[in-house]
Structure formats: structure tokens, C-alpha cells
Structure 1
Amino acid sequence: MGLLLTLKTLDISGMPATLVTLDLGYNALDDVITAEHLSHLNRLKHIDLSYTSLKIQIVSEWQPPFRLESASFQFCQMGPRFPAWLQSQKSIDSLDMSSTGLSGKLPHWFATTFSRASELNFYNNSITGELPKKMRNMSLQRLFLGSNQLKGRIPHLPVNLTQLDLSRNYLSGPLPSNLPNLSEVVLFSNNISGRIPKSICQSQDLATLDLANNRLEGKFPRCFNPKNIVSVLLSNNRFTGKFPSFLERCTQLVFLDLGWNEFHGRLPVWIGDLVRLEVLALDHNKFFGGIPDKITNISCLIHLNLAANNISGAMPRHLSNFTSMSGSINGCGEIPDNNSPSEKDNVSVVTKGKDLYYDDAEILDMVTIDLSSNYLTGDIPEEITSLLSLRCLNLSGNHLSGKIPNKIGILQSLESLDLSRNNLSGEIPSSLSNLTFLSDLDLSFNNLRGTIPSGSQLDSLYTEHPRMFDGNGGLCGPPLGKNCYVPQKGHMRRKENFSKIQPFHVGILLGFIAGLWVVFCIMLFKKSWRIAYFRLFDSMYDKVYVLVVVSWGKFAQENY
């Protein structure tokens, strides 16, 4: 029956009473199941109705004849109230009621009825109230209550717990002082405050730590030394201190997001040893100094965000070493492997002027480099044009100079390009018009000049973003309504030839004028001298006159 993926109707009232396992999951069933359909199944231990549209409507007074060990009702319609008939299911080991429309508080018998359960999943409902206070005595190993409306403090956790997802709730207060040997902690998007408890040092097998979007502060305990952690997401908190030193030993790290905190100091050189990193987000902190050259050793990197820090110096050379940004396969294909239903969509990317969020799988398709709002100097390395998978490039708000790489048009995947507020000069490369996927462009407030390249893509972009060329007084062309003046050849030739007047010709002319002036002065003072010099001048006049005329005529002939 598991092969009947398009099954729409089924009468289960005729099922044999000896049935142990009922698996109808992943079908198109949309019937209503009542107590009558299940009352004769005395030996039922396993039921799976997940990924159907079944409506389970059972009155609260019903006492089921079976004792379930596992039950999965994911995406069935069971709410709004928590099913009272489950109170009798004290032998249950695994229960999945995610996305079933539950609302209201967890029942008072929650911790006692499910005390033997190893996995409980109530993800993506509307459950309110606080978590049970007696959870410490439960045998739970995996608890998923993310995307609900829970509030209050997190109580002491079960000692055997390895996976915990309480993300997207309204939980507040500090983290519990007892953090057992967890392998996955997903608590993002709450109001949790305080510091990281030292009990986290017990989590030697921790693989995923997601505390983003809370109010946590301070530094990590020095004893924290996870062996094989692959995902550390701490963005949008109040963490302080230098770049966390425990990360130097996390050579299996794939996701690292420390953005929007108060970390400071220089980026460590050993960051280039984290060669498995695919996401590196350190934006909106207080890091200073240069970008370590070894950062280009991280060949798996597909998302680099160092925006809004105090980073200075030149951009990294050898950008072609980012091979995952250069090919068709992004990253190294190592997404953290966990069983949490949570979609970790708290990794942000500023693109197209907006701060967008992506989950683990989506971020691998969003190849980006964001170095904006720093103090970078020097030119844009030509090697950046080797990153053919790049979709978003933001270098705005720096002190970059030189020209825009001439081969920028090779980046055919580019969707967003922001080079605004720099000191870039020269002309806009004509290859820019080849970027057919480009939907956001900002070149404003640079020293660019010359004709703006034409093309349907750039013309439509200008219509949507008419300020993308602002602050470049030397630019001209149809989009700006400013004609590009091109002097005529004859005018340019005369202008150039005037600058080629030889000093010899100028000397002859000036000498002739000076001689005339001397003769004139002498004639004014002495009659005898006037007669002598007049005769000398008369004899030399013809020769000097001919020399001046010939020299000037030769100059005019050569230049006109």
C-alpha cells in the first residue's frame, strides 16, 4: 500500500483487528477519521498518516484500545485543541504532530504521559503558554517545538537531550544552567538574554549552535571546545570580545555567522585554515585591520560578508582561489546533517537594496561578496571576473580607486552590483551591458567619466533606478540627457599645432620687434646717431623682413 501515492479514498473500518502498523502517509487522502475507524484496532502500535489532508476528529472522552509506540500525523488536521485521547499513550516513543493546527497550552499531563518518549515534534503550530517545568525527568533525546508562541523561561532540560529546537517563539530569560551533551541547539528568534552558561562546555559533540536573533551578551566560556561543530550562527546579539578563539579548532566548520554583534580586533590569520567554510558572515561588528591573505585558501566559500566594519587595506588578491564561486557547483556540498524540522533562514544577504534571509539550502545558491562600508583602498582586482557564479557583489562605501574591471561583463550570473561611494575613475566598461540578469546597479558618487554604455538591460535599469549614476560629473550619454561633446578634427588639429610653435620662430619675431624699438629710441636723442642708425637699419631691413616672413610662412604651411 505504500506504493499507492495517489490514493484518495480508503475505508479503514474494515481493517483487521490484529493490525499492528498502519502507514497511509504521503497520499492524497482527505477524509475524516473518527474514533469509530480506530476502535477495533486493539493491537495497533505504529500509525503514520503524515503528509495527507486527513482530518482527525476524535472526542476528548474517547479511550483508545491500543497503546501506540510511534505516531506521525504531520500536516494532518488535528487542532485546535491538544488531543485528549493521547493522555493514555504512555508507551509512546516517537510522536510527530508538526503542522497540525494545534493551539492553546500544552496539557498538564505532557511531562508525565510522554516521560518515556525519546522524540516529540510539535513544530509549526500555535501552541501558547510556558514549557512544562518537570521536563528534567523526561527521557527525551529530541524535542522540536519551534515556530510556536511559547513564552517564559526555558526550564531545566532532560539530561539525555541531544537535539533541541525552540526557535521562533517568545521565550525570554537566561539559558538554563544545565545544558547537557547536546549535538544540536536551535534557539534563534527569541528574547533570550544573559550569558552563555559554562555547562555548554559539556557539549563536546555539538554540531549545530544557532542562537541568532536574541539578546545574549558577553564572551564564550574558555572551556568551550566542540570537536566537530559544523554550524555556528550567533548573529544579531550583543556578544563582545575578539574573534572567538575556540573557532580555530573547528576545522569542520561550514556555516559561521557572527554578524550584528560587538566583536572587535583584527581578523585572525588562521581564519584561512577553516577550509570547509561555505558561509562566512562577520558584518556589522568592530573588526579592524586588513583582510588576511589566507582567506582565499577557503576554496569552498560561496558567501563572504565583511560589511560595516572598520576593515582597511587592499582587497584580497588571488580571488580565483574561491573555486566554489567560479564553477557551476556552489560550495563543497556539505550541509550540516541533522533531523531538525527547522528551516534555518536567519542567514541574511543584502542584495538589491534589501536585507533578505535564506535557509541552509537556499544560501548555497546565493553566491555573494559583500565588503561594503569599510575603509578598503586600492583597485578592484581583475581576478574578481573569474568568479563566474557570483550573483551579488557589493563594494560600496569604501575608498577604492582605479577603474572598474574591463571584463566585468563576463559575470553573467550577476544580479546585483553596487560600487557606489568610492573613488573609481575611468569609463564604464561597455561589457556591463552584457549582464542580462542584472536587476540592481549602483555606480553613484565616484569619479567616472565618458559615455554610458547603451543596451536594453541598462536602459531599463536606469528607468527603475534613475540615481544610479549620480555624483559622476564626467558621465554623459542618452540616459542622463547630457550630450557627449566630441571636438571636430580640424579644430583639434589647430589647437594641437599652436602648441607646437618652435622657440626659433618666436625668437626671430621677438628679436625683430626689439630691434625696431631700440632704433626708434636712438633716433629720439641724437641727430648724428639717427642718421647713422637709419642708414644701417635701411640696409638691414629688407634682409630681416624677408627672414621673418619666410619663417612665419613656413610655420603656417606646416600647421595649416
Structure 2
Amino acid sequence: MHPTTVPSLILLLTLISTRWFLTGAALQSQHSHGSGGCIAAERAALLSFKKGIKSDLTNRLASWHGRDCCRWRGVRCSNKTGQVLKHDLRNQNPDISSVDGCDDESALFGELGPSLLSLEQLEHMDLSRNCLTEDQGTIPLFLGSMKNLRYLNLSGIPFSGEVPPQLGNLSKLQYLDLGSQYVGNHDLGSQLYSTDITWIKGLPLRMSPVNLSQISDWPHILNSISSLRVIDLSSCLLGSANQSLQHLNLTKLDKLDLSGNSFDHEIASCWFWKVTSLKYLNLRYHRLFGQFHDALENMTSLQVLDLSFNFNQKRLVMEGNFNNLFSLKILDLTDNEMNRAITVLMDRLLPQRAWDILEELHLGFNNLTGTLPNLIGRFTSLTVLDLSNNNLAGIIPPELSNCTCLRTLDLSNNHLSGLVPTGIGAFANLTSLDLSSNNFSGVISEEHFAGLMNLKKLDLSSNSMKLVVGTDWLPLFSLKIAVLGSCQMGPLFPAWLQWQREITKLDISSTRLMDKIPDWFWPTFSHAIYVDISDNQLSGSLPAHLGDMACVELNINLDLSSNLLEGEIPPCFEINISQSIQFLLLSNNSFSGKFPAFLQKCTTLQFLDLAWNNLFGRLPEWIAEMTGLQFLRLSHNAFSGSIPTEITNLQYLQYLDLSSNSLSGFIPRHLSNLTAMTLKGPRLLLSGTAMTLPDGEGNQVAGVTIADQFGQILSIITKGQQLRYGSTLAYFVSIDLSGNSLTGEIPSDITSLDGLINLNLSSNNLRGKIPMKIGTMQSLESLDLSSNDLFGEIPSSLTDLIYLSYLNLSYNHFSGRIPSGRQLDTLNVDNPTLMYIGNAGLCGPPLTRNCSGNNSFINGYHKSSRHELELMSFNLGLILGFVVGLWMVFCSLLFLKTWRTRYYRLVDNLYDGLYVFVVVNWASLTRNASAE
């Protein structure tokens, strides 16, 4: 080493040591201000953020105290510098039924303030599914200055307004999510919009569901950003994708999600067929039609193709060149209404080289016909096979047993028949098996379940099968969903269910069980949120510990109807169920006692069915506190007293059945308050929603819907007969008060219920007339007022009820001409007189008693009596006129003195004259008599 270099080296080392010392001292100083591994300025910034939070019901910020902010929940700091790197307060347990963070009680409520700018080294921020819009509701502009951010998730926060282009300044950003909540795979929309997306640059972002409808040239803008690898513009209201790109720059793009944009043009004109690098293409919820483009043959890298749920009447033609899709692993063509034989479809779509690669095949809701082809057994890598809701017939081919990798097999809602092959028992990976709603027969035995150790969902319902296993059989699986309705399992209660302690949905309805409910049943299914054991012959009573079931803390359908249960309905429900129960179905049993008092707290109860029991006593006035009631059926019991007027405060009520009891008194007034009965269309809140249940793979899947609940099991008396309703119950609006001892008149404001479909007031003691405006009830299909004491004319407005298909006015005291025309002339064509029998004063068609001629009736009176009626009317008028005139004279004499004086003088003069006349004439008459 040269001697002159030694001083220089010493000087350099000194400078480096000095800088290291000063930097360490500065950092130590910052740490000392925080007094515990947290920089004071950043601690203050976080506390300022906490101050802006107005509500934290889940106590996520409970640990935000003390000096070391690096130990606070959701905060992670650098081990070297102590600076905050991660700020994660996402709502980890959101309400699955909520629309966004502001619709969820478990969210943080407050504002997103600029104090976070002090977190200069922040790399990861996740505040998703909260409600941080209190300040102004728009995405804060300061976020564009947090230049070290690599991950930013604001999804589920219902921001509005324009997406700030300043987000483009985040040059290090690798993930951006502004999306909203999806329910049932449908985005619920957003108030966010953008007129410029040039700031996107190279971000792998999710812009869904930002409104981009004003950007017509969006494909060209994206094409100018050659570094893009991921594009998610789902549900962004994009106009079309039929633009052409002369030169493609998106050579690195491997994921494209344009689902939910409803492109309405030929699929061949889409610009993205040139992107041969694509591995993932999602066009779910589309309106594309026509034949596939030949360019599809060049997409050799494509692994996922989702074209499910086509909302266009013009359908896709699946006849393109798919032969080069030998990388394809997932093909989803659900709900494209292809209407063709499944063998033809599979031959054209799935080349031989795809047989060993394809993992998921979704072909449900396509009206596919024919039988399951034997070649299905060649897809040895299949993990998901969904052929549900088609028109497939025949048997399950034995070759299906080759698909040993299957995790999901769904053949439901077809016309498949024959025996279920025992080879299914070899599917060790199977988690979901759905064979429901087919024509399968024969026996399901232990052999069918021999190797199904991972099975979580089993649905064999609506078939003609018999489940036969030993009383000591212990299955290898632990089910979460068991739907076995209509499978013969009885007569003894299936003992193997005792070991299925993870079940959340259980349906063993109509399974021919003729046994006592075992003691282990209720504790075993304490975690269930759906239990249906209806339509069996189960005996026993409800246990006192039923209220401890975890299901009551979610939406519950506890269907125990149509059994032999007896005793009082226990107050066990009161503990937990009362605050969250939606369905309580206990009809057709032998329950006794009064109306259950615990129901007073059931403000969420929507559907209450206690019909066909032995309940008695008065209906409580607090029934109006059950504010969520939509369906109330208490028929065929022994309830007495009057109908509480408070029942008209149930504004969501659309079905009221109190028939066949011992109720008395008047029909409540103010029926117009039943506003749900003034609407048209589906009303049940559950008609468009569903409870979610966990599937076998830890995901939340659609569970109980209104259709699942009722199927075709609910019997309702309407139109003079017993009809069975299922999902259409959502449209059924009815009042049935028949078979009681009600008195008084039919309230006139009942005519305001123009959404009412069925009105039955028969077999009571009602008096008075039919309301004249009954013709305004335009939705009425069935009207029964028979067997009462009603009188008067039948209103002609009945002819305005164009949907009326059943009418019964028999056995009353109606009179006059029967109205005719329109819908009335089409009713009961076999014997229309039955509608009016037992009313002696009625005349005209369809009765043989005429309303004209010698023997006719006019307005309820015989024509021969018409003269007497007119004479009586004349005499009555004459008398009334005389009385009125006399009183006018009398009053005048009473109050006018001059009139009185003249009147008395007139009377005196008349008296004197009359006296002279009588005396003179009397003397003359006497003389004449003597002479004779």
C-alpha cells in the first residue's frame, strides 16, 4: 500500500463511523421519544386515526394503548428502524348478508384522515369491509402521496365520486382493490366512477365495480400499457369489447376478468382473442352470442375459460376450434341453454389431449339431452363435474368410477334413473355428492360410502331410494350438509346420525320415520342452522335445552311440522332463538297450551306456522311487536276471543290464516295498514336472498332459500280446494278468517288491499253488505263469503275482477239481479248456480229465476206487488206533506202576533157564520119534518 493512501483511508473510515453513529443516535432519539420501540410521530398518527373511529363494536382497537404501537393489533413495524410497515384493520368476520361495510355492525365506523401520511414507510394497508366514509364519502386524495405503498385494499368501503388519478403516483403499488361486496356472484354496484384510466400504468388492480361507462376506448388505453399482467374490470359497465387492435402490446397479460359487463354483441368480435398469452379469461354474466372465433385455437396457454350465465336469448354456438386448448383445466359453460345432446357437445369441445388435463367441467343449466357418455371416465383428472339442471336420462355409466380425483359430483335435477353404482365409494377425495331430484331407485348401502372419508355434503333427496345401513354403522366421514328428504330411512331413527356433530344443515323430512326422537338428537345438532324433520311420525316432546342450540344465533329454519309431538311449546326457545329466528314451523302436531309468550321477543320472526294443533286462549295484543312477521298461520286450533286490532300494525304481513278457531267479535278496522298486501309481485324478504352455509372446502355457499324451505310441501286452502305451494308462496297474498264466529260488517277499507289474491271470510256470522268498491281489488283470484248473514245487492264492480277464478256467495241473504259480464261469466262453468245457492232474493242468470215478465223480480220484489209499493209510497208522501204544511202554519201563528190576531178574527167570523147557517137550516129542517 502506498504511504499516501493511509491517511485517506483513515479519513474515509472516520467519516463512515461518524455517519453511522449520528444515524444510530437519531434513530435512538426517535425511539426514545416513543419510549418502547415505536416512533413517536407514527404513534401519534395512529392515535389520530383511532380518534376518528366512532364505533368499534368488535374491539379491534382495544389494544391500541401504551407506548409501543408496534405491539398494537393490526400494526407491524420494521425490526431495524421501528417504522410502521403494515396497517391491517380489515373486517375479518363481516356479516355475509351485508352489502358493504356501512351495512355491517362488526365494521369500524369513522373517517380516514390524513394523519396516516406520517407513516412514511408504510407498505401494506388493508382497511377493507369497514365504514370509513364519514368525512366526505370519496376516496381521500392523500392516499396518492403514500408512495411506499405496495398493497392497498379498500374493498367494501362504500366510497362514491371519482377515483382520484393521484393513485397513479403510487409507483411501487403491486395490488389495488377498490371493489365492493358480491352477493350470489352479482356485484351490487358502486357510486365510484372514472373518466380516465391512463393513470393505471402497470398496476395489477381490481377496479370492480367502478363505473367506466364513459370510457369508450378502454381497450386501446389498456393496450398502451404493455407491462400489464392482470386486468380486473368486472362489473364496470363497460360498453362493448368488439373493438379491434391492429397491434397488440399486451404480450405479458395472463389474467383478464371482464365478467358482469353484459357485452351484447358477437363473441367473435372481441379484441382479447389476440392475447394468446392469457391463462385466465372470465366473461361470467355476459350477453355474448354467435360462433367462437377461430383465434381460439391459438390460445394454447389458456387454463381457465369461464363463459357461464349467458343472459342473451341469442345463444353461443359451441362449434369453434377447441382442439388446441390442451392447457385447459377449468371450463365453465353453466347456463348457456345449449339445447343439444351431451355427447355431441363433449366431442366438439374437449379434444383427446385435454382428457388427462381437465380438472373442472361445469355444464349445468344447459338443457342437455341424452345419456351420460361412457367417455366421461376418460377425464381422470377431473375434480369437479357439474351436470346439474339438465334433461339427462339413463344411468350413471360405470366408467365414472375411473374419475377417482373427483371432489365435487353434481348430477342433481335431471331424469337419471337406475341404481347408484357402488364405485362411488372409491372416491376418497369426494367432498360434495349431489344426486337429488332424479329418478334413482334401489338401495344405498354402506358399500356406497366405504371410502368417502372426506365427504362434507350429501344430498340424495327427491328420489325413490332406500338408505339401508346397520344400526352399529360408523361412517368415516363427518358431514356438514345432509339432505336426505324423501329417502326411505325408517321406521327406526338412523343411529349413525349421532356421530355427525358438524352438521349445519339437516333434512330428513318424509323419510318414513316412525320412532321417538332420541335424546341424543338435540345436543348432536346443537350447531345446526337448518333442521327439517317434518312429515314423519316422530313422537315425543321438545326438550328444555333446545334453546342452547347454536343455530338460534343465525337464521334458523327449525321445521318440526307434521309429526306427533305433544305437550306445550317449551319456553326454551326464549333463551337464544327469540332474537334471530326467522322460521318457526310446528304445524300438524299435538301441541297444547296458549299462544307462546316467548314469541313477543321474536322481532326477526318472518314465518310462523302453528296450525293444526290444540292451542287455545286469546291472541295477545303484543302480537304487533313481532314486527317482522310476513306469514302467520294459526288455523285449526281453539283460539278464542276477538282478533286484536293491533294485528293491523304488521306492515310486512302478506299471509294471515286464523281459520277454524273460535274467534268472535268484529273484523279489525284499519286493514289498510297492512301495506304488504297492497303491493304486487314477490314480497317475502327471503325470496331473493339465501342463507349461506359452509361447503366441504371451507367456502360459503348458497344454503337455504325460500324454494329450499318449502319445495312443494305447504298446503293452503284456496279456491275451494287444498293446493300445495312452494317457492311461489312469495307471490301469495291471503286473508283467511273462515270457520269462526265473527260478527259485524266487512270493513270497507279491505278494498284498499289491492294485492290480495285470496280472501276467505266464509262460515261466520257477518252481517251487512259487500263493500261497493270490491272491484278495486284487482289481484283477487279467490273470494269466499259463503255461509254468513250478508244481505243487499251483489255489487256490479265484481265484474272488474279480471283475475277472479273462484267465487262463493252461497247461503246468505243477497237479493236483486246477479251482475254478469267479463270474468264472472267464466266461473264454475259446470254448475255456476252453486256460487249463489241459498239466496232466495237473487234473480237472473245463471239462476232460472228471471228478473222480467209476470213472474219476474225487480230489485228483489215481485212485479205484482209493484202497484202496492207505488200506492204506499204515494200515501206516505201525502201524509208527510200534510204534517209538514200543518207545522209550518202552526209555527207561523206561534211566533207572529199579527198573523195570530188575523187568524183568530178569521176563526171568529167563520164560527159566527157557521153558527147562523146551522141554526137557520136546523129550524127549516124541523118544520119540514113536522109537516110530513
The verdict on a shared fold, with TM-score over 0.5 as the criterion, is yes
Equivalent-residue separation in structure 2 for 1:140 and 1:195 (angstroms): 26
In structure 1, what is the Cα distance between the partners aligned to 2:709 and 2:440?
17
What's the secondary structure of 1:123's corresponding residue? coil
In the alignment, which residue of structure 2 is the partner of 1:265?
617
List alignment gaps of at least 5 residues for structure 2.
1-330, 692-702, 850-855, 884-918
Describe the shift of the 1:46–1:112 C-alpha distance in structure 2 as closer, same or farther (beyond 3 A). Answer: same
Q: Pick from 484, 487, 492: which aligns with 1:145?
A: 484
CA distance in 2, matches of 1:355, 1:88: 46
Residues 284, 308 of structure 1: 8 Å contact kept = yes
Report whether the alignment pairs 1:294 with 2:646.
Answer: yes
Q: What residue in structure 2 maps to residue 356 of structure 1?
A: 723
Task: Give the AA of the match of 1:147.
Answer: S
What is the rounded CA distance, in whole Å, between the counterparts of 2:787 and 2:439 in structure 1?
A: 50
| Inter-CA distance 240–129: structure 2 relative to 1 (3 Å threshold) | same
The whole-number CA distance in structure 2 between the counterparts of 1:222 and 1:541 is 111
Partner secondary structure for residue 22 of structure 1: strand
Deviation of 1:246 after TM superposition, in Å, equals 2.9
Q: Which ranges of structure 1 fall in alignment gaps of 5 or more residues? A: 504-532, 543-560
Deviations 1:59-96 (A, max 9, x none): 49x96363322222224566422212112112321111
Q: 1:407-461, CA deviations, whole angstroms, 9 ceiling, x for partnerless residues?
A: 1111122121111111112222121222222222222222222232232433443
Match of 2:670 among 298, 302, 318: 318
> Is the CA contact (8 Å cut-off) linking 1:185 and 1:208 kept in structure 2?
yes
Distance 1:120 1:540 in 2: 127
Deviation at 1:295, TM superposition (A): 0.7
Residue number among 560, 571, 574 corresponding to 1:211 in the alignment:
560
Q: Deviations over 1:157-195 (max 9, x none)?
A: 311111011222212212232222211112222222222
Q: Which has the larger radius of gyration?
A: 2
- Partner amino acid for 1:539? L
SS at match of 1:87: helix
- Asked if 1:202 is matched to 2:588, the reply is no
Contact 2:681 2:731 survives alignment (8 Å) = no
Aligned to 1:171: 513
Matched to 1:176, the amino acid is P
Indicate the residue corresponding to 2:631 in structure 1: 279
**AA at the equivalent of 2:484:** L
**Equivalent residue for 2:753, pick from 365, 387, 404:** 387
**Alignment partner of 1:256 out of 605, 608, 627:** 608
1:107 to 445, 452, 456: 445
Provide closer, same or farther for how the CA distance between residues 412 and 119 of structure 1 changes in structure 2, counting only shifts above 3 A: same
Distance (whole Å) between structure 1 residues aligned to residue 874 and residue 549 of structure 2? 82
Paired residue for 1:452?
Answer: 818
- Pick the aligned partner of 1:74 from 399, 406, 412: 412
Residue 27 (structure 1) aligned with residue 366 (structure 2) = yes
Moved more, 367-376 or 24-33: 24-33
In 2, Cα distance between the equivalents of 1:541 and 1:100? Answer: 124
Give distance in 2, aligned partners of 1:239 and 1:88: 46
- Is contact 1:324–1:330 with CA below 8 Å preserved after alignment? no
Q: Indicate conservation of the 8 Å contact 2:793/2:816, yes or no.
A: yes
- Equivalent pair of 2:484/2:507 in contact (CA under 8 Å): yes
The CA deviation string for residues 210-232 of structure 1, in whole angstroms up to 9 with x for no partner, is 22222222223332231412112
Query: Closer, same or farther in 2 for the Cα pair 1:452/1:135, shift >3 Å?
Result: farther
Amino acid at match of 1:2: D
Change (3 A) 1:33 1:406: closer
Show the counterpart of 2:228. Answer: none
Write the mapping of 1:154-553 to structure 2, written as runs, cut at 5 A.
Answer: 154=493, 155=495, 156-157=497-498, 158-177=500-519, 178-179=521-522, 180=525, 181-206=527-552, 207-225=556-574, 226=577, 227-331=579-683, 333-335=685-687, 337-338=690-691, 339-340=703-704, 341=708, 343-359=710-726, 361-461=727-827, 463=829, 464-482=831-849, 483-484=856-857, 485-486=862-863, 492-498=869-875, 500=878, 536=922, 539=925
Q: Secondary structure of 1:161's partner?
A: coil
Bigger CA drift: 417-426 or 10-19? 10-19
Mapped contact 2:637–2:660 kept (Cα < 8 A): yes
* Larger deviation, residues 347-356 vs 72-81: 72-81
User: Displacement, 1:373?
Assistant: 0.7
SS at match of 1:364: helix
Q: Do the aligned residues in 2 keep the contact of 1:301 with 1:322 (CA within 8 Å)?
A: yes
Normalised by the length of structure 2, the TM-score is 0.51
1:264 is paired with a residue whose SS is strand
Deviations 1:103-154 (A, max 9, x none): 2222123555334321111111111144664468741111011123332233
Q: Distance in 1 between matches of 2:924 and 2:661?
A: 84
1:258 is aligned with what amino acid? Answer: L
Query: Hey, what's the Cα distance between the residues in 2 that align with 1:343 and 1:478?
Result: 42
CA contact (8 A) 2:422 2:448 kept: no
Structure 2: how far apart are the matches of 1:447 and 1:352? 22
Q: State the Cα distance separating 1:342 from its structure 2 match.
A: 5.7
Aligned equivalents of 2:446, 2:459: Cα separation in 1: 17
Deviations 1:370-413 (A, max 9, x none): 00010111111000000001111111111111111111111122
One-letter amino acid of the counterpart of residue 298, structure 1: L
> Which deviates more, 119-128 or 69-78?
69-78
Counterpart Cα distance in 1 of 2:565 and 2:801: 43
Counterpart secondary structure, 2:604: coil
Please state if 1:123 is matched with 2:475: no
Residue type of the partner of 2:667? M
Question: In the comparison of the two structures, how many residue pairs are matched?
Answer: 510
The normalised TM-score by structure 1 is 0.82
**Do residues 89 (structure 1) and 427 (structure 2) align?**
yes
- Which stretch of structure 1 is more off in the superposition, 132-141 or 322-331? 132-141
Letter in 2 for 1:454: S
In structure 2, relative to structure 1, the CA distance for the partners of 1:316 and 1:137 (3 Å cut) is farther
Partner SS, residue 450 of structure 1 = strand
Secondary structure, aligned partner of 1:102: strand
Give the secondary structure class of the aligned counterpart of 2:439.
coil
Between the aligned partners of 2:488 and 2:863, the Cα distance in structure 1 is: 67
- Cα distance change of structure 1 residues 383 and 34 upon mapping to structure 2, 3 Å threshold: closer
Distance 1:39 1:316 in 2: 69
Bigger shift: residues 315-324 or 148-157: 148-157
Contact 1:256-1:280 within 8 A present in 2 as well: yes
Secondary structure in structure 2 of the residue aligned to 1:224: helix
Q: Comparing 230-239 with 150-159, which one deviates more in the overlay?
A: 150-159
SS at match of 2:418: coil
Shift of 1:312: 0.8
Q: Partner amino acid for 1:411?
A: M
- Which deviates the most, 267-276 or 31-40? 31-40
Deviation at 1:350, TM superposition (A): 1.5
Indicate conservation of the 8 Å contact 2:654/2:734, yes or no: yes
